[in-house]
Chains A and B, each alone.
Chain A
Amino acid sequence: MELMNIRSLTQSAKSGRNWLGLASLLTGLLAWWAIARYGGLPSFILPSPGQVWSRFLRALLDGSLFVHTGVTLVEILTGLLAGALAATVLGYLVAKSRALERVLSPYLVASQAVPLVAIAPLLVIWFGPGMFSKILICALIVFFPVLVNTVVGVRAVPTALHDLMRSLRATRGQILLKLEIPAALPVFLGGLRIGATLSVIGAVVGELVGADMGLGFLVNVGRGQYDTALVFVAVFTLILLALALYGIVAWAERKLLSWQEN
């Protein structure tokens, strides 16, 4: 729901009131600067925008930001891809088979009841501090929303259209390609949009628990060394990553679902 609101917010921003959003951002930045400048806080509590900017440039120039962002991005994309792929295939099968749904639903419900943040340490213990444990956490967190939306999307394909396809003697493959996939796509992409945002959280949670690379690791390093500006740099980079991913999925939705009424 929250994500839907973000979507409608970004859409309304596009409808000709861009300057209002921009002005709001600048005001926020100004307030931050003013608090940092006149609030009497030490810079390891709240660095000023200028300090964060110069820390950002330093991290950019020595290549470290690039490396850590790259690691996190690979984790996110691999996890998202693996999780979404598994969820789509399993979701389709569950949608088609009530028996399979009955067999799997206790596990699916239970998997949702487990807070992933709590088992992240376990996964890091089992699979090591490298990228694999992060990819796994990422895939697990993406899995459920994509699965649920795949099931809902495939189940919602109108029976009348199934009848049409069968009256035309369509093969199973044709029904999948020309009916089920396009009909389920809007709901599926909604799930993917949620999954894309969650995947960033998954990767960062994994990195915070234990890692030697990545933006979550950078947050930990910054915290340990009272280099709070570095924490800010890592956080902003994460925000940008999440927004970019979200934007890509939203863009794909607009392209693929142009037949829908706005």
Chain B
Amino acid sequence: MSVDPILTVHNLSAVFPDSNGGLRALDGVSFEVCPQEFVCVLGPSGSGKSTLLRILAGLLPPSSGKVTFHGGEHPGIGMVFQQANLMPWRTVSENLMLPLELAGAEIGASRQKAQEMMELVGLEGFGSYWPRDLSGGMAQRVAIARALIHDPDLLLLDEPFGSLDALTRERMWMELSRIWQARQKTVLMVTHSISEALFLADRVLVLSQRPGKVKMGLEVDLPRPRKDEMRYTAHFGVLARQLKEAIG
């Protein structure tokens, strides 16, 4: 691609200390992400893909290697976890406002923003609900809205739909696809689902079994907006097969 990357990951390794010399989770991972690109990191469980995301989010220091964010020392990060991870003592709109609150934003503007985000993810009117009253899909939509509300430079998604049932998950793909197109964010998403990666991503990086290395980078040349029917086309099948073989 001709555009300058927004994120460069160079020769990243992660070793967790254990009794026999350390557990190597990532081994020399390098890749670049362009602005507004949707990149999926695909790999079997134990390939260190969550570790990679945690390092990018600043939750974990890398053992060696370098993460460079072009556009500031500390990029604004929006993260969506495997579980919705809402604060049960906050209502939906209070949960949404958390990132703005932490940044010291003015309360009136935050409320306005929360309102907009609820509309974006289709939860108008749920502002005063407690998280315990939401379904799994609704809660995860709140989590996505919360990750976007402070207009982060980078959106990190850690298997965000893994805990949802299959039907809800597929509906959430459409939602996320739509939100991404509306917001034009740079997204890095970790998943172990081939169809999820193909349905959503511009590019798929395949990580190998532990220690994780980038085995393959696949450009997904499916037209946008992506539609459900695409998943049953021959081309989708070809791409899926390539990914499947790369995972091994």
Contact surface of A with B, Cβ cutoff 8 Å: 158, 160-161, 163-170, 174, 178-179, 182-183, 185, 257, 259-261
- Known contacts A259-B130, A261-B132; is A160 also within 8 Å of B85 by CB? yes
Within 8 A of A (CB), among B56-92: 57-59, 74, 77, 79, 81, 83, 85, 87-90
Q: Whose C-beta in chain B lies nearest to the C-beta of A169? A: B74
- In the complex, 11 of the A-B residue pairs with CB atoms within 8 angstroms, ordered by the A residue number, are A167-B57, A167-B59, A167-B156, A168-B98, A168-B150, A169-B74, A169-B102, A178-B101, A259-B88, A259-B132, A260-B88
Beyond the given A163-B57, A167-B77, A259-B130, please list 13 additional residue pairs across the A-B interface where CB-CB is below 8 A: A160-B85, A163-B54, A163-B81, A164-B79, A164-B81, A166-B57, A166-B59, A167-B156, A168-B98, A168-B102, A179-B87, A259-B89, A259-B132
User: Which residues of the other chain, B, contact A168 by a CB distance below 8 angstroms?
Assistant: 77, 98-99, 102, 150
Q: By DSSP majority rule, is chain B's interface helix, strand, loop, or mixed?
A: loop
Q: Whose C-beta in chain B lies nearest to the C-beta of A186? A: B89
Please tell me if the beta carbons of B85 and A161 are within 8 angstroms of each other in the complex. Answer: yes
Please tell me if the beta carbons of B102 and A164 are within 8 angstroms of each other in the complex. Answer: no
Total contacts A-B at CB 8 Å: 53
Q: Which of A167, A170, A174 has the most CB of B within 10 A?
A: A167
Give CA–CA (A163, B53) in the complex, Å: 12
Please tell me if the beta carbons of A160 and B89 are within 8 angstroms of each other in the complex. Answer: no
Please tell me if the beta carbons of B58 and A182 are within 8 angstroms of each other in the complex. Answer: no
Give CA–CA (A169, B99) in the complex, Å: 9
When A and B form their complex, which 9 residue pairs have the shortest distance between CB atoms, in order from nearest?
A: A167-B79, A167-B57, A259-B89, A182-B89, A160-B85, A170-B102, A168-B99, A168-B102, A259-B130
Give CA–CA (A257, B102) in the complex, Å: 22
Give CA–CA (A185, B81) in the complex, Å: 24
Give CA–CA (A185, B87) in the complex, Å: 13
Q: Whose C-beta in chain B lies nearest to the C-beta of A165? A: B102
Please tell me if the beta carbons of A178 and B102 are within 8 angstroms of each other in the complex. Answer: yes
Please tell me if the beta carbons of B89 and A183 are within 8 angstroms of each other in the complex. Answer: yes
Min CB gap A134→B, angstroms: 36
Q: Whose C-beta in chain A lies nearest to the C-beta of B88? A: A259
Please tell me if the beta carbons of A174 and B79 are within 8 angstroms of each other in the complex. Answer: no
Min CB gap A183→B, angstroms: 7
